Chains A and B, each alone.
Chain A
């Protein structure tokens, strides 16, 4: 059984190479990333040699980070690895014990398990001293990897029913926001702190006070104890780690037994409220209501707003704590507007086949103007407070809260420009979207990646161009008293943004009137 499931996993992996070009590129990139993580982690752990107890602290943090990654990432890519879902095997007459062994073996197959093992083996060089230290490391590191695999299996099997349900998929999709924030924070902040000398191995001193009794901490401190002349404690820690892993394995096997006979799930929740909000305000209000509800209920809509906030923060974070904070705040405002546009620049493709309901009902240019403006009202109702909150949050971090107002002016103009460009591109370069198993975010359907890339670049350029006058006004009006400058900038920029959005609606409606059937044919090809 183990051999069969490992062969299945290998076949699934190699089949990725025969799939679409996008899937091939994804597979190659994932493999390269795994190799980089393996080599990078191994190197990082190895250079800690000679750092004393600080090495154990940092190694514990790294081991814990790997365990957390194995806890979270399989939930996000649940649909991608067919061997993660017990429902795919529920129809076959399989006994639990050989099945569990086979699934665990399948888990250990692939680039990422290998990267975890190779990377963590760096602790042999960085932390282990003497024969006993190396021996304990050679046992402890594979045991830690086994713990990670078992943890991932336990979590995905326990949550399999939920992850297959609509609500579970929504939950898994939303995990992308903190993952993206952590990733961006890591690549933006860690190199900066390290280059400034503010982040060294000793910065993690004391973290093991509470991490040493977690499974990753047990593995690391077993190596440390064995290397520092405490073999008894080392063996005890190893035994405890093995016991925890075995206990988790037993829980997983029980969970697997349940999952094999309870494969069907459905979400039975109801919505609150009895009617469409704003529907009494004509067609514009009705469309606004639909888009408003979708911004709350559609996971990728929520993800887009989360990513917009993270991108705004990332753009400015390196500058807001320096004397150049003002440029960071303005850039953040411009980025907010541009990404509101980018994330909604294919509204019809993103609506999917449901657009048929609208295409069969929208009659003429006036109705289409109401359609686009209703959409903008819903998006603007979220974008304006979100951009305002992020800008003033960053201004507070920079300790110059008043300077949030010029950035807000740029943000408001950017939102108007972004919405206008979103309307235009939704009509002029609509393309079908698809959601592939295991990827929470919809993306351009095969053959349309160029369209998507072009829209992103043109929206960035267009929004950047549109906010340039406001940026210039914000920069060159700094000598004007704040009491006059701030309200004038914000009010004028808001009016400018509204004018841009209005123009976008007019042009998009005129263009859409001529090509509604073609837009429907694009929407109906979306697989969402």
Chain B
């Protein structure tokens, strides 16, 4: 499995040269806003992710991560603002933008009644790959993602981690230049997480860009070269990981920025004191 990441899926490394926008930014977000009724989920965020970055978008639950990613990927119409992917305005020309991005949604709910193999091939064909090429890439991705033995099982019978891997395969099969992932490693075992991490690093190494949301600070600190912290719909810090950490751990920097609750000791005084 480990060796296959070097041999298979060579098409993922290709064409790095023409991935970048003229400005060098793969993703540019300008004053992106979205409200649901009276609640302002995303309150005018600005963000710029350089091409070839592995960027993390972190924030507490309900901070606006998923809403922001949905608007960046053309799946949720914003109330205002602009999203540029490689210089293409997502909301002015959705087909052109969709052609260059891959998306892994948070819950990885897929077409459960297809087998893993059928799902990846379906995704490739939807993206306009010829049937033979889609089948060949699906087989390579299943190999790299360690899903070959389960390729003929229905996705309905996959574990959470296997679904995440299948979803990543679907997002990568057309070799996008920018990959968006929402909580990509949630529910994924350490071995599979390592496979995904190495695949993403290799993908970024070829000049492609990855933006993923997470609330696992250790993971973001380990793999990301760029971090943005979102809280209550606003970007409260952004920059290289070193800049955002500011000499602390990312976890501590995050808590300093968004605050924490520390009254549980008073409330749960009975916990651990006896068997009753």
| Interface set of A (CB-CB < 8 Å, partner B) | 166, 266-272, 274-276, 279-280, 283, 286-287, 289-290, 293-294, 297-298, 351-354, 356-364, 516-518, 520-521, 524
Could you write out 18 A-B pairs with CB less than 8 Å apart? A166-B157, A266-B157, A270-B115, A279-B135, A286-B122, A289-B122, A293-B113, A351-B111, A353-B109, A356-B103, A356-B109, A357-B111, A357-B170, A359-B75, A360-B101, A360-B103, A517-B77, A520-B76
Knowing A275-B135, A361-B127, the reply to whether A356 touches B157 (Cβ < 8 A) is no
Which A residue's beta carbon lies closest to that of B134? A279
B219 within 8 A of A: no
- Pair A269/B95 contact, Cβ less than 8 Å: no
Contacts of A283 in B (CB 8 A): 125-126, 128
- Can you list the 3 inter-chain pairs with the closest CB atoms, starting with the nearest? A363-B95, A353-B109, A361-B126
Rounded to whole Å, the gap between the CB of A197 and the closest CB of chain B is 50
Interface class of chain A by DSSP: helix
**Are A353 and B105 neighbours in the complex by a CB distance under 8 Å?**
yes
What DSSP secondary structure best describes chain B's contact surface? Answer: mixed
Contacts of A356 in B (CB 8 A): 75, 103, 105, 109
A148 to chain B, nearest CB (A): 33
Given known A-B contacts A276-B121, A276-B125, A360 and B110 have beta carbons under 8 A apart: no
Q: Is the CB of A364 within 8 A of B95?
A: yes
Cβ proximity bits B127-155 to A, threshold 8 Å, 1 near / 0 not: 11001001100000000000000001110
Q: Nearest chain A CB to B112's CB is how many angstroms away?
A: 7
Residues on the B chain within 8 Å of A269, using CB: 153-154, 157
Binding site for A on B (CB under 8 A): 73-77, 94-95, 98-99, 101-103, 105, 107, 109-115, 117-118, 121-123, 125-128, 131, 134-135, 152-154, 156-157, 170
Q: Is the CB of A354 within 8 A of B111?
A: yes
Q: A166-B154, A269-B157, A297-B154 are in contact. Are A290 and B122 (CB under 8 A)?
A: yes
- Are A279's CB and B131's CB within 8 A? yes
Q: Judging by beta carbons under 8 Å apart, are B156 and A166 in contact?
A: yes
In the complex, the answer to whether A271 meets B118 with C-beta atoms within 8 Å is yes
* Residues of chain A with a CB closer than 8 A to B123's CB: 357, 361
B115 touches A271 (CB 8 A): yes
Closest Cβ of chain B to A487, distance in Å, is: 38
Contact at B131–A521, with CB atoms within 8 Å?
A: no
B103 nearest CB neighbor, chain A only: A360
In the complex, what's the smallest C-beta–C-beta distance from B204 to chain A, in angstroms?
20
A353 & B107 in contact (Cβ 8 Å cutoff): yes
Interface centre among A267, A283, A353, A364 (most CB of B within 10 A): A353
Contacts of A524 in B (CB 8 A): 75, 105
| Residues of chain B within 8 A of A279, CB atoms compared | 121-122, 125, 131, 134-135
Alpha-carbon gap, A294 to B95, bound state (A)? 27
Whether the pair A518, B77 counts as a contact (CB closer than 8 A) is yes
In whole angstroms, what is the CA distance A363 to B110 when docked? 19
Assuming the A-B contacts A354-B110, A357-B110, are A270 and B121 also in contact, with contact meaning beta carbons closer than 8 angstroms in the complex?
A: no
Closest chain A residue to B78, Cβ basis = A517
**Complex: A276 Cα to B131 Cα, angstroms:** 9
A521 and B75 contact, CB distance less than 8 A: yes
Residues on B with beta carbons closer than 8 Å to the beta carbon of A521: 75-76
- Give the distance to chain A from B144, nearest Cβ to Cβ, in Å: 19
Complex contact B121–A360 (CB within 8 A): no
Q: Are B118 and A275 in contact (CB under 8 A)?
A: yes
B126:A294 contact, CB within 8 angstroms:
no
- B74 to chain A: which residues have CB within 8 Å? 359-360, 516-517
Docked complex Cα distance between A287 and B109 (Å): 18
Contacting residue for A363 out of B73, B94, B117, B153, CB 8 A: B94
- Complex CA–CA separation, A274 to B132 (angstroms): 12
Is A275 touching B121 in the complex (CB atoms < 8 A)?
A: yes
| Residues on B with beta carbons closer than 8 Å to the beta carbon of A353 | 105, 107, 109-110
Cβ B115 vs Cβ A363 within 8 A? no
Query: Is A271 a contact of B154 with CB atoms below 8 Å?
Result: yes
- Give Cα distance in the complex from A274 to B102, angstroms: 25
Q: Across the two chains, which residue of chain B brings its CB closest to A359?
A: B75
| C-alpha spacing A518/B77, complex, angstroms | 7
